[in-house]
Amino acid sequence: MRDALREGLKKWKALPEVETKAGALRVPEHGPVDGTYYRVPPQNSLILNVYTRALDHVTDNQFADAVCKIGAGDEAARDHLWLTEPEWKSLIPPNPKISQKFPMPEKIAERILRFHFVDNTRGEPPFWRKNDIRSRDLNLIVEEVKQSSVRLRIQGTSLLSTQEDATKSERGFDASLLGYIEYDSTKTAITRFSVVAVGDHWGTGAHTQRGTRLGRTPLGIAFELTDGKAPADRVAPQGARELASYFGRN
């Protein structure tokens, strides 16, 4: 890319001055924007920052940032999870009671697993197909109910695998997750949404082969709520090239 820029500058400097002076070229209006590529968060949506890191075992139950070469999973990958207003509101039960337990809404669970439980620390990750979700047990449990707030615990496990028999699959992710949601009824808003998922990931994709770690290695994914005001926080999710597919619509 650097060489291409230098070559372009060289050609520009070789042009006659009449072609490069101010006002020599008039750029017309670009016309209507192609909605396919103009992706903005839905109105009143919830935006979560998503961070993914390759990990190494310290002990059976402790992890550390993996030792990787630069460009081979050394840095945390960044992404965003979008939830529409009806979706995030569906996470809060209408009459919450302590210890009440219910499954995470299907569309939300599927979006998290298919588009965000991926190793995107290197290159362009392959996203999971619907039938790659081999098992899913993601639940919300009411932990605390106050006059103006509710706290929910998110807990569960999932197995993603390119083959029904995960021991024979070329790619997979066997993960457990734990997190918390806090809802403020006076603001009608979720004020906390924090989740961490950790598990063994294996395999690679057509555009993530460089620096691939061999065998099953730990991968960690963290989700945290953002107010979405910073331009960087409003970048579309990596898996949302097709918004209809990302939101689970036909």
Within a domain: residue 115?
A: yes
Within a domain: residue 180?
A: yes
Within a domain: residue 52?
A: yes
Within a domain: residue 25?
A: no
Provide the 10 A C-beta neighbour count for residue 195: 22
* Percent of residues, the chain, with pLDDT higher than 70: 100
Range(s) of the domain holding residue 196:
42-246
Within a domain: residue 137?
A: yes
Contact call for residues 116 and 50 (beta carbons, < 8 A) = yes
Please report, for the chain, how many H helices and E strands are present, in that order: 5, 9
Within a domain: residue 76?
A: yes
Within a domain: residue 24?
A: no
Note the residue count of the chain.
250
For β-strands 62-65 and 77-83, DSSP reports them as unpaired
DSSP, collapsed to helix, strand or coil, labels residue 23 as: coil
Which residues does the chain have with pLDDT short of 70? 250
Within a domain: residue 4?
A: no
Distances (CA, A) of 33 to 27, 38, 152, 232: 16, 7, 41, 21
pLDDT at 37: 76
* Total domain count, the chain: 1
pLDDT at 250: 66
